[in-house]
Structure 1
């Protein structure tokens, strides 16, 4: 314990940022040493590469346990889920869907995030990788919309110094559906929502890389339907329209307002 605290203090003296792996458990020292951006301090994504792996419920527990002590470098963003892709004899896999890997950027807080897969794997899914390019790493506001430790969590965060919001929803081995209110969005603004979610036939074990992307207009009176596959997730980016965009999309905005009225 003294070693890790000494490292944090000494690097702070030299204005060096630190991301610690294999450290002692986090106890809030990142507040004393703000240069200590993140640490692992629990079984991260890498544990899936050489073991039986983290069960799908693992990431639904960490926000209520490990992350209470400070930011976690979980190393999300794995797109090639099964290790047999690299070696046909390997049976290991990440117990997740691709869409869930995107959602982890929201539910697993760290101001220093990693795109943990190979560049060539991201080139296979450029539309999904767009979310990693867009997502923020630090936040001005956080809303827990739905949660049951060990089962699921739905979380919305407002990007620091920005009007953009992001939502992440993850589940354990059970498929789940949610109808989520977007009342957390800023009042009086129209947002362009890009929804990255599991495909209809997605499954963490049988078809983990199947996903679909939808786009729609929303405001703070809208609801968004989330359908999570077993071991799956959903990630959404909400970007406010400019005044010029609102003018160009008057017809679409009218349809959105009509849809909101019907949903009530």
Structure 2
């Protein structure tokens, strides 16, 4: 361990420790002031990234934010982990960090540990109450803060207020990102800012998020107010509970671990290639994983809307999925009324003969929203869930899409996990919509294929203003919402959006399924739209991998452009999009690829494609239209 004292100054009694990353590039300073308050700060390459920031908690029965004493500090040790994850940017993942634990007590002698782990791509810390108690303890305040210099900038999404929006269905993480705003600017919504929150501090990029708690903590967000660039943790709003009187803020018996606070740190390349968000998540629970299959899915509703949820149209979309060599077909809301269980079973049997799995939509809704769409309320209790999932398993249904959740209170954290566990017991894959951020939950429950938590394709079909934002929006997502967790944006329209003027080119749209990560990728395009594209585009989409082995960040800047390479087996897919209004010529370093590739990009005419050969080099030139894009496939 490194213990530093500050000489003959007013802070002579401060106790200060440093923990560095394995490559020595990151350095965390942990300190206990002689006044009994805690702080930490963060440097990268000897340059300040986070200034002195707060640590501590307040329970109803005990204050751990002041009058603290340091009992001891552990030696710095190396902690490692390795795991496999099919819904991530990399199938095989390894984690190495330097770890130090600080043992503290408050004014009454109650104990608190703070655990720091520093890896080459960031910092994680969490709190631990080591004492034993069967009395439920409640946390009222988490004092944790992230203190940026005032010249830092943020790419942040406001958090919607609870019980607002369509049929009182917020919060659902579907607001527009604010681009490169000055730190300290208040959120326009009192609920605050969502994770992941992206910041630029000089030459360093920072992503702030948290790992999924088990069942004894709520999900959190950043406070709406960040005076002088200091962002603090905020708990959910009052209505964000599963039922009246259910747990909102954190409560648990002791001992008790809080979730990891995660700070991804480095270049944009470091941020985009990092798996820190799942590295700190709880490992996979023991379950039969034989049914877990990432894939690609047809989906009628996003462009054809409610009238498409009928037997004949869904049968046609199953045929479409088969023709495209995809894996699933999603049947959306009101299937129970417009098709019915008996005919859905017939449809599932038809799909099975074609090796296509059906996914069915459900309304999660209890008392927290007024959305009338059905099936509704069938998943609220364990008894009802088990009955429904058993019925689906018997019919051969492969997955469920569950929509319209009610918030981030601790009781909702428990509800998400109850659903995932019962679904796993019946070999059902899960997609949560109108929902919170995954926060690494997909590692703990591998049957969690994806979650929406984004202003996705469906919003483009509602308003022209939403469509007009897509070039900037989509070039922000890989650095923010999708940086650690799977995201069900439901990408790709290659022809027309009814009643909307397209703002992006076909090259842009074709790149999205490569750039955006989702355990099941639901495609928006219809059979009719697909009939307008050339055969080589269809062939690329037929052979597009459902999961990835590796990732490389090639080029980009949030809201302006992004180019990412993904590998499956020996094949590399390099995809890029231009979020700006001018054509660009990009110089890309593709020297790590050793084979000639085929590039599909925008042709001279609107909604057209052109294909060409690409020989990779350190200076590969690619021209990209305004709001355009490309995909290069290297066999």
TM-score above 0.5: yes
The aligned runs of 1:1-264 (5 Å cut-off) are 1-2=412-413, 3-51=415-463, 52-54=465-467, 55=469, 56-83=471-498, 90=499, 92-125=500-533, 126-159=535-568, 162-174=569-581, 175-185=583-593, 189=594, 191-200=595-604, 207=606, 209-216=607-614, 218=615, 221=617, 223-239=619-635
Secondary structure of the 2:517 match is coil
Q: CA RMSD in A?
A: 1.9
1:106·1:166 contact (CA, 8 Å) conserved in 2?
yes
Kindly indicate which of the two structures has a greater share of residues assigned to strand.
Answer: 2
Q: Which runs of 5+ in 2 are unaligned?
A: 1-411
The 2-side partners of 1:222 and 1:69 are apart by: 28
1:103·1:235 contact (CA, 8 Å) conserved in 2?
yes
| Cα distance change, pair 117–183 in 1 and its aligned pair in 2 (3 A) | same
The 1-side partners of 2:481 and 2:570 are apart by: 29
2:511·2:576 contact (CA, 8 Å) conserved in 1?
yes
| RCO higher in structure (CA 8 A, sep ≥6) | 1
Single out whichever of 7-16 and 229-238 deviates more from structure 2: 7-16
How much does 1:107 deviate?
Answer: 1.0
Map Cα deviations across residues 209-254 of structure 1 (whole Å, 9 max, x no partner).
13211134x35x4643221111111111110xxxxxxxxxxxxxxx
2:494·2:510 contact (CA, 8 Å) conserved in 1?
no
1:81·1:97 contact (CA, 8 Å) conserved in 2?
no
How much does 1:150 deviate?
Answer: 1.0
Q: Which runs of 5+ in 1 are unaligned?
A: 84-89, 202-206, 240-264
The 2-side partners of 1:95 and 1:18 are apart by: 32
The 2-side partners of 1:7 and 1:47 are apart by: 27
The 2-side partners of 1:194 and 1:30 are apart by: 33
| Cα distance change, pair 58–123 in 1 and its aligned pair in 2 (3 A) | same
2:571·2:633 contact (CA, 8 Å) conserved in 1?
yes
Question: How many pairs align?
Answer: 218
The 2-side partners of 1:112 and 1:215 are apart by: 30
Secondary structure of the 1:74 match is coil
How much does 1:200 deviate?
Answer: 4.1
The 2-side partners of 1:95 and 1:32 are apart by: 38
The 2-side partners of 1:104 and 1:50 are apart by: 20
The 2-side partners of 1:10 and 1:153 are apart by: 38
The 2-side partners of 1:127 and 1:237 are apart by: 11
Q: Say which one has the larger Rg.
A: 2
The 2-side partners of 1:81 and 1:171 are apart by: 20
How much does 1:111 deviate?
Answer: 2.6
TM-score for the superposition, normalised by structure 2: 0.33
Secondary structure of the 2:478 match is helix
How much does 1:82 deviate?
Answer: 4.2
The 2-side partners of 1:158 and 1:42 are apart by: 25
1:254 aligned partner: none
1:4·1:23 contact (CA, 8 Å) conserved in 2?
no
1:135·1:237 contact (CA, 8 Å) conserved in 2?
no
The 1-side partners of 2:416 and 2:548 are apart by: 26
TM-score for the superposition, normalised by structure 1: 0.76
The 2-side partners of 1:39 and 1:94 are apart by: 25
| Cα distance change, pair 29–227 in 1 and its aligned pair in 2 (3 A) | same
The 1-side partners of 2:602 and 2:532 are apart by: 17
Kindly indicate which of the two structures has a greater share of residues assigned to helix.
Answer: 1
2:461·2:497 contact (CA, 8 Å) conserved in 1?
no
2:496·2:529 contact (CA, 8 Å) conserved in 1?
no
